[in-house]
Amino acid sequence: MSAADEPGRGLRVIVDPGVCLGGGQCELICPDVFEVSYVSRVRVEHVDPLHADAVRTAADACPSGAIRILDGDMAKGGGEPRT
């Protein structure tokens, strides 16, 4: 576990609307964070540490690869995108 993964240290998640197909697998995996309208969107961008694992699972499993997790200290404006 890197420092960036520690609870409260700023796990952020974004959905790329140009890539998302609206399949909603993320909503099935973690409805507290993801919601699908026309395409999927993030309900809460700053993820409660409670949902960190589910968000990573959803990002990893997104078939179209639309979900990105930004690790890092939010005070510095986020870190490197990861998928």
Q: Which residues bind other proteins (CB under 8 A)?
A: 21-25, 27-29, 36-40, 57-58, 60-61, 63-65
Copy the structure tokens of residue 23: 């399949």
Nearer to other proteins, 2 or 37 (CB): 37
CB of 61 to other proteins, least distance (A): 3
Q: What is the per-residue burial (b if ≥16 Cβ within 10 Å, else e) of 25-63?
A: bbbebbeebbebeebbbbeeeebeeebbebbbebbeebe
CB of 43 to other proteins, least distance (A): 13
- How many angstroms separate the CA atoms of 82 and 32, rounded? 21
Nearer to other proteins, 57 or 71 (CB): 57
Nearer to other proteins, 10 or 27 (CB): 27
